[in-house]
Amino acid sequence: MDQLILGSQALRTGRLTEHQLRTRYRMVYRNVYLARDVEMTAEIKARAGWLFAGPDAVMGGVSAAAVHGTKWLDPDTPAVVVRADRHRPKGLTVQSYALAAQDVCVRRGMRVTTAARTAFDLARLLPQSRAVPIVDALMNATDLKLIDIEPLIAANPGVRGVHRARSALALVDGGAESPQESRLRLALVAGGLPSPETQIQFFDEYGEAFIRVDMGWRQWRVAVEYDGVQHWNDSRQRAWDIERLAILEAMGWVVVRVSAAMLREPERLVARVRTKLRAAGCPV
């Protein structure tokens, strides 16, 4: 069973009866159906939007990010199509602005904005707290670097949101491996702490990396780790976390472990990390 189909085409060719279409598929957009046993993802939502909008459509924003392989995107977010006119098909988020030829590429058979253009548009059109984690994840999923985005800022000085884009892009870091890590880093920086290095590796006597921490400051040997649910529910992960913490402490590092509840109280979180940094000699 195909994941996504055009209902009219399936009925016209006799592949499905109306009863089969109604019972085996669910409608995503008008005339675009998804098999009922397939879980919706952001990439499937993007493809559904592209099928609905037509083969000449260019998918942008979170839809383009999904097609580029970005993880952790909300599948309930409407697909985003970029078009210069004001025609707005029902059910799609339409962003109306012109694209240069070099801003568009083909991925997985769909026309989408390039990774660089996608990052630029996300950074200028979304609130910073939402844009930074998505651009972090986009950079993590691709070989995109900030230097790839800079020409777009220079070429579009008057475009809506360009100043917001500059501010957001100054905060992105493709080293983040989850939205929670991105939000944690943003909370630390917003609280006045130095921007931490992400994914710090530690090597054994053979030169092999055997420990990595989410973020921290080498100069002061302070690390900050986000503990997701797997750190508490997986007994082997829990055992390794305890061993790893002991190794880091033996190396003179202080590790601040952060839970989801702590992320909801950023002032207390920042105060705790600031105390550790000050004790290590950091002038904060």
Model pLDDT for residues 141-150, shown as the tens digit of each residue: 999 999 999 9
DSSP secondary structure of the chain: --SEEEHHHHHHTTSS-HHHHHHHEEEEETTEEEETTS---HHHHHHHHHHHH-TT-EE-HHHHHHHTT--S--TTSPPEEE-SS----TTSEEE-----GGGEEEETTEEEE-HHHHHHHHHHHS-HHHHHHHHHHHHHHS---HHHHHHHHHH-TTSTTHHHHHHHHTT--TT--SHHHHHHHHHHHHTTPPPPEEEEEEE-TTS-EEEEEEEEEGGGTEEEEE--THHHH-HHHHHHHHHHHHHHHHTT-EEEEE-HHHHT-HHHHHHHHHHHHHHTT---
The pLDDT confidence band at residue 118, using thresholds 50, 70 and 90, is: very high
| Percent of residues, the chain, with pLDDT higher than 70 | 96
pLDDT of residue 233: 62
Report, as an integer, the average pLDDT of 113-121. 99
pLDDT of residue 271: 98
What's the CATH number for 179-279? 3.40.960.10
Report, as an integer, the average pLDDT of 174-200. 97
The pLDDT confidence band at residue 232, using thresholds 50, 70 and 90, is: low
Task: Indicate the average pLDDT of the chain.
Answer: 94
Q: pTM of this prediction?
A: 0.92
The pLDDT confidence band at residue 275, using thresholds 50, 70 and 90, is: very high
pLDDT of residue 230: 58
* For residue 228, pLDDT beyond 90: no
* For residue 121, pLDDT beyond 90: yes
* For residue 268, pLDDT beyond 60: yes
Spans of all domains in the chain: 1-38, 55-169, 179-279
Report, as an integer, the average pLDDT of 48-53. 96
